[in-house]
Amino acid sequence: MSNEQQNQGSIRLVDIAKALGMSVSTVSRALQDSHEVSSKTKKLVLDYAAENHYVPNPIAKGLKMGKSKTIGVVVSAISNNFFGQIIDGIEAVAYEQGYNLVICQTLESPERELVFLQNLSSFLVEGLIISMSSPSQNIEYLKQLQQRGTTIVLLDRTSDELDTFKVRCDNFTGAYNATKHLIDSGYTKIAHITSSEKLSVAIERRDGYISALHDNGIPVRDEYICFCRQSGRDPQEVADNIQKLLSLPDRPQAIFGASDRITMKSFETLKTLNIRIPEDIALIGFTNTEFTRIFDPSLTIIRQPAFDMGKKAVELIIESSHSPYPVTEFTTHAYNTELIVGNSTNKRIG
């Protein structure tokens, strides 16, 4: 290969064809192990390609085949343990099936989300897995992408406004079980720190919390329900809500955190303020954070099967891509949560 080709990067099909005195189409078929090309010719092409470090262009190949083998993933933040584990699941299947991923973080901004959706559309992604920052703000653009043939999976945060595949947890039951566990442990004054009141997961978890209180004859107190507009991304927002609850004349006996970040920041804030857990205030929450068993005290949590959810989301896209007909019937996959009991919700004394 010439110095000029080395400077320009990987050798191209046309370069191989010129060097071997073949047509570009013959070289292409040889690289694809086509039966139309003799074994001798295949060996010549493959040997030359290997010697000169030929690397196929997956995008160009995808365009030619009508498949980009690329999937877009849009989540709030990879640093969130839940979404990090979801991406692990997505990547496990994508790698095995030869798919590429483009991962974007909205940081809870609908504006960032729209920019990423537009960019992913220009990349001609085969499918899109999205956990929406807002339940409706960009729904019309998602409908446009779907009409252009992009398979969409709504993950975790879903919307009834879009008829498509959905992968989520049974948030209502998970929240109900968390609240019921506190009640069974002797706590009746239970606060709930949740995300934006517009997010589907926040609504479902708040409904589960309220339903458990109602079923056990405990009144719902508005001052015990606190919202975090940034879903816990802003640590000060969570800390301020903790301070507000602690300053109430009749402060709660327990706190139920509705998300990974909210639960972990609540734990940190209480420890910083020297509030004893659970002696002063018990704590339970949704989180997929590792090592909560070795916290002091060990944390009672609601864990979601994030890895399996990620796997299912990408499997739905790949199955749709391989379907000989346009997919018009969509399924919703709801996963059970798991209550893991630690010492942060020990039986209340007194």
Domain 68-169+306-336 class?
alpha beta
Do domains 3-56 and 171-304+339-345 share one topology? The answer is no
Q: Kindly report, residue by residue over 318-345, the tens digit of the pLDDT.
A: 999 888 777 888 999 999 999 999 999 9
By CB atoms closer than 10 A (0-12, 13-18, 19+), residue 347 is exposed
Q: Provide the CATH topology of domain 171-304+339-345.
A: Rossmann fold (3.40.50)
- Return the bridge partners of 190, or none: 254
Q: Kindly report, residue by residue over 228-269, the tens digit of the pLDDT.
A: 987 777 889 999 999 999 999 999 999 999 999 999 999 999
**Tokens, residue 80:** 């969130």
The residue extents of the domains of the chain are: 3-56, 68-169+306-336, 171-304+339-345
> How much is the average pLDDT of 17-35?
84
Answer yes or no: is pLDDT of 220 > 70.
yes
Answer yes or no: is pLDDT of 33 > 80.
no
Percentage of residues in the chain having pLDDT higher than 90: 64
Distance CA 235, CA 323 (A): 45
Mean pLDDT of the chain: 90
pLDDT score recorded for residue 108: 87
Q: Which of 290, 344, 318, 349 is nearest to 126 (CA)?
A: 318
Least confident of 43-57, 128-142, 280-294: 43-57
pLDDT score recorded for residue 135: 66
Q: Answer whether 341's CB lies under 8 Å from 282's CB.
A: no
Distance CA 74, CA 231 (A): 16
* Alpha helices, DSSP H, located in 157-224: 171-184, 200-215
Q: Kindly report, residue by residue over 289-327, the tens digit of the pLDDT.
A: 888 898 999 999 999 999 999 999 999 999 998 887 778
Highest mean pLDDT among 96-105, 115-124, 156-165, 304-313 belongs to 304-313
CA angle (37 as vertex; 26, 4 as ends), nearest 5? 35
Query: pTM surpassing 0.85?
Result: no
> How much is the average pLDDT of 156-185?
96
> How much is the average pLDDT of 32-50?
85
**Tokens, residue 51:** 């010697």
Please say whether the structural domain 3-56 has been given the CATH code 1.10.260.40: yes
Least confident of 30-39, 189-198, 251-260: 30-39
